[in-house]
Structure 1
């Protein structure tokens, strides 16, 4: 006898999750159809969002509630609300899915959530007014932008301690790590630049002029491109990572904030805060192929693959304690994969 499966709010497949800051919701976009499949109520003033590697959970920071909402992606319902620090903004999940890292803007700390129990197991002091956070692909380091200190804190995840502080540009905002872990890309909002950090040495090896007020940043799965959202310019700068130069500038909607790249690298999703839309960029041509209406003041965006029912358990896995910053930039392939399907269930 086959055990009954939990109700599935959306079919298995690839989805983009968008926080709507003024609506207190998350829009769940079906990337195959570029339509909103579900709107999920969360906490007050949702800011950023991250999806677990196995696609079963989505984590949303609620800036006005000092909490994180945990969404079960199979049912698109909030299954836990985790108290964190004052004004949580950024969130990132470890590659093994066992930890979520949350920046607390007004507390100058990072909360470490154990995802199996949805409890905070550590609080790490960092620099002033932290915003962005990203975890290295091997899980050994977390990078945090300290906007009022003009620095990046490097956290050793095994000990939950800051092991390096890297000077960058003025008001660092977003951060993303290359798929092979050798580079971290930081947007400097007040400098209109992006800093490129060599993770092996924790030093800035390049500073790239981009557009006006850069905020979000994401790296393609193969590591060859970095996408920087320029909030005041209404554009996205496309950086060729091999040369650290801007090779394209793409007009999007009004006041774009964040960007996420699809697992196969063919699309980039950009939130347009003042247009209440998401622009879908075709990365092969660097053009906008679709514009999707979402909720009021969209901000954060993350992409995940929802598995077939019964596949993937949250918070299970062993931390990877490899060495940071080994590999060749621009030649890594995506490690994102769908969960193997059984029966007639096939993720999109």
Structure 2
């Protein structure tokens, strides 16, 4: 096909040149306009005359919808066996698939995530601690390692802003670490420290002295101990409310929960709670909040052969809305509201509960029961779970057990999280009597409260955390 643009261009040029100076500027302009029109028509004819069909191009506009939901993961820690590096396994919440696995120190003991769920911290039996970012592309080479003092014998770790506190029972001290990788800055003297209670933004945290029956207040701004006061016998665990107003200490030896007013840095004292102590069941050792209900759930281990219990406690504080009826209410340092510290129910669960995890929508609590150690978790004749080892599902409206989910091994850790279309509960076991079952993480769906699947961990489960509740 002839090049029409070339032909018309030549005609245009020759027409203009022929006109020269013999015609007016307006005439020359008219000639140019006519020629351009001819060029345009010829160009269009060339397009439709070459045997190809041309269609108008429409640029698609992508619709703008809601922002994507943040990713949620279960972070499981497992122990492959003596002398082998521990493992961190990151599991996708939505698909129950293993996304990545990386090595940490030998004989891992303790796992915790920072407040935003972006960084993990482990304590290992080989005298090291690890720090790693929560990433689906996590490599072993990216995991930072710090070697602790040889006699530290750490039992727990708590990341608090720029400070990271390690409970060093072997040195009767809380080690304060900073930097990347973490480096020891100083040690704060605390007898037999077992746990540090606090929040990432709290002005002070509390170190528990297990054998001393006391707590030491650590001012996070100066990293100094400001006070030490007695709580119950053998404190083992504690939690701090999300507003940073109250801390709750589980005293395993005395069957009580001590309440600390964080603002005044003293044991809480009110008309409802004059001694700052709440009496619960035998051997309280774990707790979790049901924030939508202003309640706290406390797991009581019991005596190891009969059923343990779950204590459900009312813990509301007065608010700005209550100030008209309660002239003593100060929203910056609120007093206990009516009914604070009341045990609403004591719910029997399985034998030897070790942990409780509450769905943050306030519907249910899940209690991991390790069972009577003299009895198996699985029947030798039928190879099915006996119910001795189990998860108790507690309805927080009726305050009753609505289901018991049998497990094939003794649970060591449980973590529950809400979700759509279903929330999930993750359970790991550290059971020498059933190593095969202990090398899998059990996943329970909360819409039916049934076991959905199990996920291989390449070692016995030690702990599991979720990046968001």
Same fold? TM cut 0.5: yes
Q: Residue 122 of structure 1: CA displacement? A: 6.5
- Aligned counterpart in structure 1 of residue 143 of structure 2, from 62, 77, 82: 77
Deviations 1:238-282 (A, max 9, x none): 111011001111122311122111242610111122113321101
Kindly indicate whether residue 164 of structure 2 is the aligned counterpart of residue 25 of structure 1. Answer: no
Q: 1:302 to 1:204 in 2, by over 3 A?
A: same
Kindly indicate whether residue 272 of structure 2 is the aligned counterpart of residue 214 of structure 1. Answer: no
Deviations 1:167-206 (A, max 9, x none): 1111111111112361111111115111111113123221
- Aligned counterpart in structure 1 of residue 292 of structure 2, from 164, 168, 180: 180
Q: Residue 55 of structure 1: CA displacement? A: 2.0
Deviations 1:189-247 (A, max 9, x none): 11511111111312322100111111110111211101111111211111110110011
Q: 1:247 to 1:142 in 2, by over 3 A?
A: same
Q: 1:111 to 1:30 in 2, by over 3 A?
A: farther
8 A contact 2:236–2:252 mirrored in 1: yes
8 A contact 2:284–2:301 mirrored in 1: yes
Q: Residue 289 of structure 1: CA displacement? A: 1.0
Kindly indicate whether residue 368 of structure 2 is the aligned counterpart of residue 229 of structure 1. Answer: yes
Measure the CA separation in 2 of the matches of 1:136 and 1:227: 20
Q: Which has the larger radius of gyration?
A: 2
Q: 1:276 to 1:156 in 2, by over 3 A?
A: farther
Kindly indicate whether residue 73 of structure 2 is the aligned counterpart of residue 15 of structure 1. Answer: yes
Q: Greater relative contact order: 1 or 2 (C-alpha under 8 angstroms, separation 6 or more)? A: 1
Deviations 1:86-119 (A, max 9, x none): 27655666275887766554454557778899x6
Q: 1:303 to 1:193 in 2, by over 3 A?
A: same
8 A contact 1:70–1:79 mirrored in 2: yes
Q: Which residue of 2 aligns with 1:300?
A: 463
Deviations 1:129-186 (A, max 9, x none): 3233222232222222111121112233335443222111111111111123611111
Q: Secondary structure at the match of 2:350?
A: coil
- Runs of 5+ consecutive residues of structure 1 not aligned to the other structure: 1-11, 306-335, 337-348
- Aligned counterpart in structure 1 of residue 253 of structure 2, from 148, 161, 166: 148
Deviations 1:294-332 (A, max 9, x none): 264423322115xxxxxxxxxxxxxxxxxxxxxxxxxxx
Task: Tell me the TM-score normalised to structure 1 length.
Answer: 0.70
Q: Which residue of 1 aligns with 2:343?
A: 204
How much is the aligned-residue C-alpha RMSD, in angstroms?
3.6
Q: Secondary structure at the match of 2:236?
A: strand
Measure the CA separation in 1 of the matches of 2:208 and 2:134: 23
8 A contact 1:61–1:89 mirrored in 2: no
Measure the CA separation in 1 of the matches of 2:459 and 2:209: 23
Q: Secondary structure at the match of 1:180?
A: helix
Q: 1:111 to 1:252 in 2, by over 3 A?
A: farther
- Runs of 5+ consecutive residues of structure 2 not aligned to the other structure: 1-69, 147-163, 170-191, 269-275, 317-339, 372-387, 432-437
- Aligned counterpart in structure 1 of residue 98 of structure 2, from 30, 35, 38: 35
Q: Residue 127 of structure 1: CA displacement? A: 2.9
Kindly indicate whether residue 241 of structure 2 is the aligned counterpart of residue 136 of structure 1. Answer: yes
8 A contact 2:122–2:130 mirrored in 1: yes
Q: Secondary structure at the match of 1:211?
A: strand
Task: Tell me the TM-score normalised to structure 2 length.
Answer: 0.54
1:117-128 alignment runs, 5 A limit: 125=229, 126-128=231-233
Q: 1:144 to 1:28 in 2, by over 3 A?
A: farther
Aligned residues: 292
Please state which structure has a larger fraction of its residues in helix: 2
Measure the CA separation in 2 of the matches of 1:223 and 1:137: 15
Q: 1:30 to 1:188 in 2, by over 3 A?
A: same
